[in-house]
């Protein structure tokens, strides 16, 4: 972490926990995510600040296939809607953390002094796959339609925590002291722009040998609408929107992956042991305006427990 502090925004860790159920063309999922971001004005530890964020979502999806010419031409159509709740803190620097830890009751001091923003939205995603002969597939996905968040900013996080506790039928966490200033809750709205992604995939058929070795290849163009806008002033803007990938599945147990993610190489491996699936990926992300401005490498490990029908 100490080696990646640079001016602007960064990210320390992201943790995702999710469970899902699929049956036929119906799917239901519950997801919780925490993120710890960094923000620095000059890339020095003394100016670095942390931003904590929590996201929770309940997703409902429906999809079906239209077989126009069996085994030659078919179309998959799908859509999902997710109720999303988001909360994030203000920037917290080293001085604020030291003051909190030196207080008699750090938790109460944090709830009394640190503001927080929280709110909800119901984004919708729709997608289509066109399945072609010899394993080719063309895809398009529109994401974050209706991405309008209805938010509140709380001048002290304790009021938000009490509100969440009351909704759950529990007692509040925070009791304002007589000297605490009056709470201020301010409504606000912001919209996450919708995106359109295009993709091309190929899974060649190797006949009986496919049980031993199963390769697949993909090419994705991310956020085409924004790309068209950027291309007007930057001829190389497409590099920030391209994802290339290749995967080889060995003996239906081990997946080996390599790709190009917005100008940076990514590597991955997966192991499938009946109901347990573990994936690991090592990759680079660009936090700057252009490729090469602020690359940060990351390691992601995913553990899945379940059965695919």
Model confidence pLDDT, tens digit, residues 183-225: 899 999 999 999 999 999 999 988 777 778 899 999 999 999 9
**Over 90: is that where the pLDDT of 6 sits?**
no
**Over 70: is that where the pLDDT of 42 sits?**
no
Q: Residue 308's pLDDT band (boundaries 50, 70, 90)? A: low
pLDDT of residue 127: 97
% of the chain exceeding 70 in pLDDT: 92
pLDDT of residue 274: 79
**Over 80: is that where the pLDDT of 265 sits?**
yes
Of the two residues 278 and 239, the one the predictor is more confident about is: 278
pLDDT of residue 289: 65
Q: How many CB atoms lie within 10 A of CB 57?
A: 19
| Residues 119, 120, 121, 125, Cα dihedral to 10° | 120
**Over 60: is that where the pLDDT of 255 sits?**
yes
**Over 80: is that where the pLDDT of 306 sits?**
no
pLDDT of residue 4: 47
Of the two residues 210 and 163, the one the predictor is more confident about is: 163
**Mean pLDDT, range 227-235, rounded to an integer:** 86
In this structure, of 5-19, 106-120, 121-135, 230-244, the range with the lowest mean pLDDT score is 5-19
CA distance 202 to 246: 10
pLDDT of residue 46: 59
CA distance 112 to 96: 13
In this structure, of 60-69, 92-101, 244-253, the range with the lowest mean pLDDT score is 92-101
pLDDT of residue 1: 38
pLDDT of residue 285: 79
CB 211 within 8 Å of CB 173: no
Q: What is the mean pLDDT of the chain?
A: 87
């Amino acid at each position: 972490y100490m080696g990646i502090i640079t001016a602007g925004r960064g990210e320390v860790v992201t943790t995702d926990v999710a469970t899902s159920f699929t049956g036929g063309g119906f799917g239901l999922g519950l997801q919780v995510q925490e993120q710890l971001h960094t923000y620095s004005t000059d890339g020095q530890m003394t100016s670095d600040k942390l931003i904590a964020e929590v996201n929770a979502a309940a997703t409902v999806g429906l999809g079906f296939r239209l077989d126009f010419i069996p085994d030659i031409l078919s179309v998959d159509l799908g859509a999902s809607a997710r109720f999303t709740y988001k909360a994030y803190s203000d920037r917290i620097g080293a001085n604020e953390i030291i003051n909190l830890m030196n207080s008699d009751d750090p938790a109460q001091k944090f709830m009394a002094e640190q503001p927080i923003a929280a709110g909800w939205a119901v984004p919708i995603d729709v997608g289509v796959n066109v399945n072609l002969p010899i394993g080719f597939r063309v895809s398009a996905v529109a994401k974050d339609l209706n991405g309008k968040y209805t938010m509140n900013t709380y001048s002290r996080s304790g009021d938000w925590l009490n509100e969440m506790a009351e909704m759950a039928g529990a007692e509040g966490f925070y009791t304002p002291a007589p000297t605490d200033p009056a709470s201020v809750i301010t409504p606000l709205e912001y919209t996450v722009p919708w995106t359109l992604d295009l993709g091309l995939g190929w899974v060649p058929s190797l006949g009986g040998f496919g049980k031993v070795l199963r390769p697949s290849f993909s090419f994705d163009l991310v956020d085409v609408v924004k790309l068209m806008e950027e291309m007007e002033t930057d001829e190389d803007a497409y590099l920030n929107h391209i994802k290339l990938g290749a995967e080889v599945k060995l003996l239906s147990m081990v997946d080996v992956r390599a790709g190009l993610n917005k100008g940076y190489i990514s590597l991955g491996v997966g192991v499938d042991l009946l109901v347990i699936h573990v994936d690991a990926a090592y990759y680079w992300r660009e936090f700057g305006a252009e490729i090469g401005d602020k690359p940060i490498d990351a390691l992601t490990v995913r553990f899945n427990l379940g059965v695919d029908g």
